Amino acid sequence: MTDCASLNEFLVDLASADDESVPPGLEQHLALCEACARQVDDVRAVRLMVHDALDLELTEADQAELDAMVLAAIARQG
């Protein structure tokens, strides 16, 4: 049996997922239940946004500076 109550367990897996596949029973439920579908989509959206937001931390110029600093430190270490 699949209903709104079983969504949470799936979301916990999805939030962390190495594997994103939706169990067949739940897939049916998601097709019918907008509230649950939205929750799943939101969790996926947050994952993507967190990744992309952190990926933008460094500009190319900043990175060039950072690389130079690292290489200087390694040269000092010998």
Partner 1 sequence: MDFGEPAETDEELVARLRAGEPGIFPVLVHRHSARVFGLAMGMLHNAQDAQDVVQETFLSVHRRLDGFRGESSFRTWLMRIATNSALMKLRRRRRKPELPLVIEEAEPQGRELSHEAVDLRPLADKVHHDRQLAAHVRAAVEALPDRFREELVLADYQGLSMAEIGDLLDLTVPNVKTRLHRARLAVRDRLRSRLGEDGL
Instruction: Pick between residue 15 and residue 31 the one whose CB is nearest to partner 1.
Output: 15
Q: Which option in Zn ion, partner 1, none does residue 66 bind, with CB closer than 5 to 8 A by kind?
A: partner 1
Number of H helices, E strands in the chain: 4, 0
Site for partner 1 in 13-42 (CB under 8 A): 13, 15-16, 18, 38, 41-42
When asked if residue 5 is in the footprint of partner 1 (CB under 8 A), the reply is: no
Show Cβ contacts of residue 16 under 8 Å, excluding neighbours closer than 6 positions.
none
Residue 54 carries which side chain, given as an amino acid letter?
A: L
Distance CA 42, CA 5 (A): 17
| Out of 5, 32, 57, 61, the residue judged to bind partner 1 by CB under 8 A | 57
